[in-house]
């Protein structure tokens, strides 16, 4: 009877530490676990440590997600010798400190977006990884969806000509119910603004596809300005906006419109990005994430209209190792692809997008926040100059 | 053999004069012709006169649209005794003068949107009809679509609670091709700005559904700044913008985002309007004009999502006299319903929306144009104050 | 002051008589009224007479639809000298007799679908027009929609290669409510079967696009088998099926699936037709009637997916005289185009589809009805042979 | 510094053997790997052995999917003492033998669909597991999608009343290109018919939601009847149909239409299932797998239309442990949920659907195949009676 040999030539292990066991920590664990299923990697990711302040919860998370060890303090994770990559999944306000500590410890850093709750902190995080010279990446996971990646590729291929108009809208109802009790998401220094939380993804995509945003005008609005603090029972002030909108000016001459809201009823997490170029249009609607809409004016006018591309073709980016076309992937695939993309050449190669990319996005977020406060147009460069004084 | 009597008790005739035989003139003729088919009216509209400078073309239009007489000069139309209603379908820059002449002649006035190419002209038009005391209406025909009218009705019924976020986007590719020769549409004083041409409809809907717009910030962009004049062969300057976007602030506390573009490839005439309230969302997509999307947070969470209402039910507004549900109406129905709505109580009753409503929209358009030029937030009231000095 | 001459060179009038003032009569009046608006015609259609048994109702219809005269008996209409075209909009069971009378009177005949409630009657109608040699047409109005006509054109151009699979589904909820009282629609000899009422359109499109149907298997189902007769108050037997489905075999080797139902909740009038060929797919969904979906395997695989054609381009069939692309037409346009197509060359030219086309469809309907009853496959040719014995 | 304890109280391991390393083997490995991430399980699935004839390929698969050991012969897997569950992912024609061997070895069995290539084999498989008394399950994974499971739940809750009409269509282009070389998929005894391959899922859903199918009529068609065998270079006969369609009769009185095709251009894997009941409609379109369409006639007629439910709400079945609403899951989630559902109570509890359910589906498939061959209606019971003689 035939018996094949067991897998012998397995690649070297790379130890991962996950800071935070919430939804994002879970998503990242999911990504590392499946990355080898979809892509031959030069290393084997091992989930070594996960950290979190709630002992029972983090221990349960470790069991569920197959992490070897749970710790209560992220510093223990950063210092653990088996951890080579520190993957930060905590609230935005905590990122900079953890990034800095990991960088000082010589660990590679992967950090969830937004990089920080404000520009100065984001700057410090980037300075830290640069000083330490460690590999670093920011978690703009939506770039890893095939349809989104295909959109970028098609723009780079000139399929819509020169981009002129960009629009991105992210509608959620996360903050709609005024009875939702106060928590860290409603405190800007911890959870960051809505423009940074949701908008960071859109601004990243705008920058990636259309180029640098140089000036903005904006308005923000908070309708539920206080919520009951479940600990104290008292009313706590909300300083995170319910909705923001901005006009964008790109260096290229393109213009854009950005809208983010957490008070849009029956809109769970609906984001749409569209670019109109000189020769065509591309549109991505996250609610139908396996599709990409494309129209090309150079097509026969008899076929006027847009195509609904099924962004799962083997020739499309980020589809390697996934299902046959038509079966569809979900949100989780973005984390699997992110893990696979980053680990593919480990420990060599440069990660992208890196924290510096996160900082650029943060600059635009900060400019939008300030432009809304001051009710005027602002140059992003000026905002940066002031923010880093 | 039975033979029913011929229709004897026909209602009195009302004479209509159509100024302009282009696409809008055609659409208005279509509307008057069919209005009696869908609605019992107290009067019988008779297309008496149509005017236009091209003799052959206007004569052909008269034959095609069943108009009794064609004239070369709109003044002859205004003065024709059989014309009781002057319906103005010429380019925006010509409206004010014709409105004024018709008002002076004591005729009722129906005027296509935008009311004028600038605020001062629009003001003059309104002053003229007010001074003359003649019935007057502005052609915001999209209000007459069942789905749009239902949207307004549902907001008024409180079905989405208090409106908070409004967004409207109108994408067309009318100006995309740089080889399109220069014509009146590219001269602001004749064709009005894009924000006025396309945006006027959206601003009207915003005002109708959410209330007064009090402040705006905006940006506008012209990519093709000169076009060949087919008469002279020379290059003519284009002073109408290819695209505009604006942030809106409503008196109610709601906020909005408005975008209009005539350079969006493969987007023939795609406008979308959405309102998010405290309790629900309504969304209209003109490309599927017989549908209205509605989500209500008070619904069972088990049924989370939005409904695609088929806005053709007999209980819906503006459906009277149309087809059984599911058959669908088109653009033309908006003109049929407009004619029917206006003629229903003729010669009694007040028409709505009237030119004053057109003026309010014009004020917002003007504020947006100026805010874009000056790159700052503007109060609409201030713009009006200055415009009327 | 300039004054253009009144339209003098108007084309000769052609007198139309509309038999029946219900929904279909209204739609046909709508069509004739607007036909000259969209297309230069060699004749001017004049709505001379409309007939119906309810005196008040038919008189009101005449007033509303601009018909000169109303009569109580269709025979008076047929005999009226000013009537050159008899347009039959009564229930299916009455068609054959009226067709025959009109043919004998030497009138051109336009007859709503289905041609009759059974094959023998349909045969008689065709024999009558053939014997009289009068122009005749069957009211397969959906062929006149731009998207449907484009679908046919694209198949003929080879854009999907050789058709292999056809499917058509028509879902309505017209019969869903068991409380709907009995009327002629529930009596097969008057209203025809559901397969004939709804299916006739689909079978016509199948035959037009894919070719002759030669064999069928089917099943039919009536869930509400009796309804209260509002006149007698008694329970009346329903002999029209609530739903039918059939397997089709085409002469070409293609195969098909057909489904019609009047008991599909929340499905007002939703029909979908799809053809899969050797090289591509075309799909039409009536709920979005200004669109046509098209996929071509010869396209770049990088663009895998289907296109949503906006079937309103000036190069598309049946768009002449309609609105700019993106504005959208509705159900009514099919009747306008039908009238324009038929009147275009009046009194010359051959009308298509003619009653013989209606008869071919009737043969398939009859075969399906019989195949369902007998629970076996039937050759359409055999059914015809038997039906005409 | 705080350090939480490592996970100690991990549940007992259950050893899994995966027979076949192709796409389905991969999908099942994916499922077992992630099941603990989404659901607290009473056991820890361990991927112990994977089998396949291609040594290099199966060894690579083992490495990629995290399986401890690769073997060349499935018998070695079945006999491996650490394997408690044998999960069969090989071509249909091989299932029965492997099921029987696993059952004899006392192993629990999970078998991909269709259960076999013909009814007799499927019967033997069921007899084997029954005789051995081992837990057994059939891989109808689409049941595990939230939207599909919600559809079933809503029918059971009476939300559409009594089901009357069922339709299911599965369009793929897997066989479209005649240049695809011959392989096992084109040999019925190995790959099963298309009706069994694709249709099995649909028939399972029909049975699950609407009940037993008792009679069928059908037709099948093979357009490409021979393909080049890449080994011999010769032409090999294809005996698997390109397309099938069937009329279904349910015991309940409901009726159905089923269509499956592998030659539908630009249709990668598009399946749609709709049920119309006495009170409502439910529709699932796999291309938008996170949605479920629902219409209820008992709703206000003012809201006529269907809802697009976002089938990701925490209250929906099969959503436990997945992402926040709006993020979306993909095909892979069906295997994760399948693994989690089956392992949840391991080693206690009864698995569902079991192989007997697979046999019931096989009976309908066999009846459809035979009805197509014989061109007549068949009772499923008669087909079973004959098949098991």
The answer to whether D37 contacts A37, with C-beta atoms less than 8 Å apart, is: no
Q: In terms of DSSP bridges, do strands A305-310 and A291-296 run parallel, antiparallel, or are they unpaired?
A: antiparallel
Q: In terms of DSSP bridges, do strands D163-171 and D270-277 run parallel, antiparallel, or are they unpaired?
A: antiparallel
Q: Does B289 contact C at CB distance below 8 Å?
A: yes
Please give the average per-residue pLDDT across A353-362, as a whole number. Answer: 98
Pick the CATH number of B144-326+352-371 from 2.60.40.10, 3.40.718.10, 3.30.360.10, 3.40.50.410: 3.30.360.10
Intervals of CATH 3.30.360.10 along chain A:
145-324+352-371
What would the pLDDT profile of A330-350 be if each residue is shown by its tens digit?
A: 999 999 999 999 999 898 879
Q: Does A70 contact D at CB distance below 8 Å?
A: yes
Architecture of domain D13-142: 3-Layer(aba) Sandwich (3.40)
Tell me which CATH homologous superfamily contains domain C145-323+353-371.
Dihydrodipicolinate Reductase; domain 2 (3.30.360.10)
The answer to whether D302 contacts B325, with C-beta atoms less than 8 Å apart, is: no
Residue A348 is predicted with a pLDDT of 84
The answer to whether B375 contacts A377, with C-beta atoms less than 8 Å apart, is: yes
**A268, closest residue in chain B (CA to CA):** B305
Please give the structure tokens belonging to residue D187.
């040999």
Write down the pTM of the prediction: 0.97
H, E, C per residue of B32-69: HHHHHHHCCCCCEEEEEEEECCCHHHHHHHHHHHCCCE
Cα-Cα end-to-end distance for chain D: 74
Mutate: best of D266, D271, D301, partner C, most C CBs <10 A: D266
**Touching partners of C (3+ C-beta pairs < 8 Å):** A, B, D
Residue C345 is predicted with a pLDDT of 85
The answer to whether D313 contacts B304, with C-beta atoms less than 8 Å apart, is: yes
| CA-based nearest residue to B262, from B279, B236, B241, B277 | B241
pLDDT at A1 over 50: no
Q: In this prediction, what percent of chain B has a pLDDT beyond 70?
A: 97
Q: Closest partner residue to A221 among B217, B223, B255, by Cβ?
A: B255
Question: Residue B167: CB partners within 8 Å, gap ≥ 6?
Answer: A169, A259, B256, B257, B258, B272, B273, B274
Question: Residue A123: CB partners within 8 Å, gap ≥ 6?
Answer: A359, A387, A388
The answer to whether B303 contacts D316, with C-beta atoms less than 8 Å apart, is: no
Please give the average per-residue pLDDT across D86-90, as a whole number. Answer: 98
Please give the average per-residue pLDDT across D65-79, as a whole number. Answer: 98
Please give the structure tokens belonging to residue C55.
């005196």
Residue C160 is predicted with a pLDDT of 98
Please give the average per-residue pLDDT across B222-226, as a whole number. Answer: 97
Q: Closest partner residue to D59 among A5, A33, A34, by Cβ?
A: A5
Intervals of CATH 3.40.50.720 along chain B:
13-142
**Is residue B347 reached through a cis peptide bond, with omega within 30 degrees of 0 on the bond before it?**
yes
Instruction: Please report the sign of the dihedral spanned by the C-alpha atoms of residue B200, residue B206, residue B208, residue B212.
Output: negative
**B57, closest residue in chain C (CA to CA):** C4
**Touching partners of A (3+ C-beta pairs < 8 Å):** B, C, D
The answer to whether C308 contacts A304, with C-beta atoms less than 8 Å apart, is: no
Q: Does B387 contact D at CB distance below 8 Å?
A: no
Confirm whether the ipTM is greater than 0.90.
Answer: yes
Q: Does D2 contact A at CB distance below 8 Å?
A: yes
Largest CA distance in chain A: 78
Interface of C with A in 310-339 (CB under 8 A): 310, 313, 315-316, 325
User: Taking CA A222 as the corner, what is the angle to CA A217 and CA A227, rounded to the nearest 5 degrees?
Assistant: 155
Distance from the Cα of B176 to chain A's closest Cα (Å) equals 7
Architecture of domain A145-324+352-371: 2-Layer Sandwich (3.30)
Residue C236 is predicted with a pLDDT of 97
What would the pLDDT profile of A131-167 be if each residue is shown by its tens digit?
A: 999 999 999 999 999 999 999 999 999 999 999 999 9
Q: Closest partner residue to D3 among A67, A71, A324, by Cβ?
A: A71
Check: CATH 3.30.360.10 for D146-327+354-371?
A: yes
The answer to whether B75 contacts C1, with C-beta atoms less than 8 Å apart, is: yes
Average pLDDT, chain D: 96
Q: Does A291 contact C at CB distance below 8 Å?
A: yes
Average pLDDT, chain B: 96
Q: Does C287 contact B at CB distance below 8 Å?
A: yes
Intervals of CATH 3.30.360.10 along chain D:
146-327+354-371
Comparing C328-332, D139-143, D324-328, D347-351, the range with the smallest average pLDDT is: D347-351
Q: In this prediction, what percent of chain A has a pLDDT beyond 90?
A: 95
Residue C30 is predicted with a pLDDT of 98
| CA-based nearest residue to B37, from C323, C60, C77, C139 | C60
What would the pLDDT profile of B92-146 be if each residue is shown by its tens digit?
A: 999 999 999 999 999 999 999 999 999 999 999 999 999 999 999 999 999 999 9
Intervals of CATH 3.30.360.10 along chain C:
145-323+353-371
Residue A11 is predicted with a pLDDT of 83
Q: In this prediction, what percent of chain D has a pLDDT beyond 90?
A: 95
Residue B348 is predicted with a pLDDT of 84
Please give the average per-residue pLDDT across B378-385, as a whole number. Answer: 96
H/E segment holding residue A49: strand A44-51
Residue B11 is predicted with a pLDDT of 83
Is residue B273 within 8 A of residue D267, CB to CB? The reply is no
The answer to whether B266 contacts A218, with C-beta atoms less than 8 Å apart, is: no
Q: Does D306 contact B at CB distance below 8 Å?
A: yes
Tokens 């043919």 identify what position? C103
Please give the average per-residue pLDDT across B40-63, as a whole number. Answer: 96
> Which residue ranges of chain C lie beneath pLDDT 50?
1-7
User: Binning pLDDT at 50, 70 and 90, where does residue B388 land?
Assistant: low
Intervals of CATH 3.30.360.10 along chain B:
144-326+352-371
d(CA A58, CA A67): 10
């Amino acid at each position: 009877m035939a018996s094949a040999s067991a897998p012998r030539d397995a690649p070297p292990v790379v130890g991962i530490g996950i800071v935070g066991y919430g939804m994002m920590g879970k998503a990242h664990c999911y990504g590392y676990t499946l990355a080898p299923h979809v892509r031959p990697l030069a290393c084997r990711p091992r989930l070594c440590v996960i950290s979190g302040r709630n002992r029972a919860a983090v221990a349960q998370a470790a069991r569920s997600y197959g992490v070897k060890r749970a710790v209560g303090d992220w510093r223990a994770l950063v210092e653990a010798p088996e951890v080579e990559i520190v993957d930060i999944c905590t609230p935005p306000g905590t990122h900079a400190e953890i990034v800095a500590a990991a960088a000082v410890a010589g660990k590679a850093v992967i950090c969830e977006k937004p990089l920080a709750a404000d520009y100065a902190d984001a700057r410090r995080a980037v300075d830290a990884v640069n000083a330490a010279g460690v590999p670093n990446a920011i978690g703009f996971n939506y770039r890893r969806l095939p349809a989104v990646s295909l959109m970028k590729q098609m723009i780079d291929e000139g399929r819509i000509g020169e981009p002129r108009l960009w629009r991105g809208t992210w509608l959620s109802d996360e903050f709609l119910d005024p009875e939702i009790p106060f928590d860290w998401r409603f405190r800007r220094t911890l959870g960051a603004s809505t423009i940074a939380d949701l908008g960071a993804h859109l601004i990243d995509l705008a920058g990636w596809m259309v180029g640098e945003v140089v000036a903005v005008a904006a308005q923000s609005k908070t309708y539920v300005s206080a919520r009951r603090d479940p600990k104290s029972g008292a009313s706590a002030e909300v300083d995170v906006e319910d909705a923001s909108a901005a006009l964008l000016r790109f260096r290229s001459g393109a213009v854009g419109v950005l809208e983010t809201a957490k008070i849009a009823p029956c809109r769970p997490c609906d984001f749409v990005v569209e670019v109109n170029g000189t020769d065509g249009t591309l549109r991505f609607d996250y609610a139908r994430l396996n599709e990409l809409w494309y129209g090309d004016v150079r097509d026969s006018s008899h076929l006027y209209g847009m195509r609904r591309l099924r962004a799962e073709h083997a020739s499309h980016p980020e589809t390697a190792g996934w299902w046959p076309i038509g079966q569809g992937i979900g949100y989780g695939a973005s984390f699997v692809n992110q893990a696979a993309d980053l680990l593919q050449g480990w420990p060599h190669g440069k990660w992208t997008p890196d924290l510096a990319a996160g900082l650029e996005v943060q600059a635009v977020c900060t400019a939008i926040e300030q432009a809304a406060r001051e009710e005027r147009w602002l140059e992003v460069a000026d905002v940066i100059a002031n923010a880093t004084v």
